[in-house]
Every structure is written in C-alpha cells, then in structure tokens.
Amino acid sequence: MQVTDQALKKLPYVLDKKTLMAFYQVSGMTARDIRIGINAIIADNRKLSASKSVCVQLIRHIEWREFVRIYGAPAGYSTEFLPQ
C-alpha cells in the first residue's frame, strides 16, 4: 500500500533533541547515530569546538532542516516545511 502526501503529518518548525530522538528512533535509527548527526550539525552551524561536547537542547530551524536533508524525514512525516 502506498502512502500519499495527504496522509503524512507536517514536521514542526523547531524542536528539541528529545523530540528529534523520538521521531527518528521510531524510524529505526539508533540514539547514538542521531546524537552524533545532530551534534555535528549544531557544532558546525554554531562554530563550536569539535573537542567539546555539544550541550544544546533546542535545535534551530536551519539545523533541523539540514538534519532532515541528510537523513530524510522520519516515518509518517512530510518534508513540506523545507523551503529554502
């Protein structure tokens, strides 16, 4: 059975790491892979040191958008929020 765009939910504009983890763990990604991916994106966008841990809870829209472009939308969600 094919899922149509009408059945897909819209992704939130911004979210926190806990919500991001919940979205992608349902899709089959491991928590470790999700953390590594989003922390690398956050460190790059915010010009943080690569040697320090990323202690950020709220993910900016640009970081969220980049994560979805790299890993795809979680199961059941549309990428409709991704305009340039």
pLDDT, the chain, mean: 86
The two tokens of residue 62 are 């640009």
Could you tell me the pTM of the whole model?
0.82
Q: Are 55 and 41 contacting, i.e. CB atoms less than 8 angstroms apart?
A: no
Q: Are 75 and 29 contacting, i.e. CB atoms less than 8 angstroms apart?
A: no
For the chain, give every domain's residue range.
Answer: 18-74
Q: What is the pLDDT of residues 43-73, one digit of tens each?
A: 999 998 877 888 889 999 999 999 999 999 9
For residue 69, the number of C-alpha atoms closer than 13 Å in the C-beta half-sphere is 11
